[in-house]
Structure 1
Amino acid sequence: MKKEYILASVPCTLRELITEIVAHHVREYNERTEESQLLAFLTEEEINAKGIEGKVGFGSKYDDRQANEEESIQTALLAYEDGLYRVFLREEEVSDLSSRIDIQDGDDITFIKFTMLAGRLW
């Protein structure tokens, strides 16, 4: 699913890009207000749209705690260093956090998260 981001500044390295994206999501998460509906429901169109995104839910926060921006950024950078996800800019992998990147308006950036599978080989 494509999502457009308007960044506060133009990142010059992968580290700066990850920092900007995570900071954006933390602010978005912390600003979410819980809507007080007596009965929450989703229309068929909302269910279909959320299904395409990969998660059908009400978007409710069940916890009043705020996300810590700096901790979230450090966690995301550590996850990248640990190989839990990869980043591609214009279909080319950016392999190092200090790699210089040249992002232009409209560029596609792809984050691929790896999922660990459990199982046995007999």
Structure 2
Amino acid sequence: MISIFINIKSIGKRKSALQAVPYSLPDNIANLSGLITAVVKIEVDRHNLRETEVMLLPFLTEAQIADQSMTGKVGFGHLYAEGNANPEKAVAIALQGFEDELFRVMINDMEIKELAAPVNLKDGDRLTFIRLTFLTGRLW
């Protein structure tokens, strides 16, 4: 296993700060496609496990309410989708999203532009997924 950091935008903060979250990945990842696949499968597993966790008496602390109110929505984080997510389908959607240029991938300060591009991850590397959004409004 390789220990890396994935940069995640802090939710509920006024400034758009990135927080480096420790993450463990298999050490046999050869290319960007394999990296995206590994991350998506881990996240799908986490998502599916959250559906089985049930709090007997759910509550929010004052700090959680204050943080969530900054984003405009206060809630308990319930998942309303029925059933578990399909890892193979999620991987296919993520790979298609990369090909459609809906997000970019950076390892440390270097952008990886092709799914077949080799990646050489080392302990302590920083991985960032940048989601691209469309601007709304008129073009002229």
Where 2:115 maps in the other structure, the secondary structure is coil
Where 2:63 maps in the other structure, the secondary structure is helix
Number of residue pairs matched by the alignment:
121
Aligned residue in 1 for 2:99: 81
Question: Counterparts of 1:100 and 1:27 in 2: how far apart (Å)?
Answer: 25
> Is the strand fraction higher in 1 or 2?
2
In the TM superposition, what is the alpha-carbon distance from 1:63 to its structure 2 partner?
2.6
In the TM superposition, what is the alpha-carbon distance from 1:49 to its structure 2 partner?
5.9
Question: Counterparts of 1:50 and 1:21 in 2: how far apart (Å)?
Answer: 26
Distance 1:93 1:81, change over 3 A: same
Aligned residue in 2 for 1:10: 28
Aligned residue in 1 for 2:132: 114
Aligned residue in 2 for 1:35: 54
Gapped regions of structure 1 (runs ≥ 5): none
Scaled by the length of structure 1, the TM-score of the pair is 0.84
- For residues 65-119 of structure 1, the C-alpha deviation after alignment (integer angstroms, 9 at most, x for no partner) is 1101001000000000000000011101011100011100110011100011221
Distance 1:105 1:97, change over 3 A: same
Distance 1:120 1:15, change over 3 A: same
Distance 1:57 1:119, change over 3 A: same
Question: Counterparts of 1:56 and 1:85 in 2: how far apart (Å)?
Answer: 27
- For residues 29-83 of structure 1, the C-alpha deviation after alignment (integer angstroms, 9 at most, x for no partner) is 1111252445x43113334666799x86422111331101001000000000000
Amino acid in the other structure paired with 2:78: S
Q: Root-mean-square deviation (CA), in Å?
A: 2.6
Correspondence for 2:78 among 49, 57, 60: 60
**Aligned pair 1:104/2:122, yes or no?**
yes
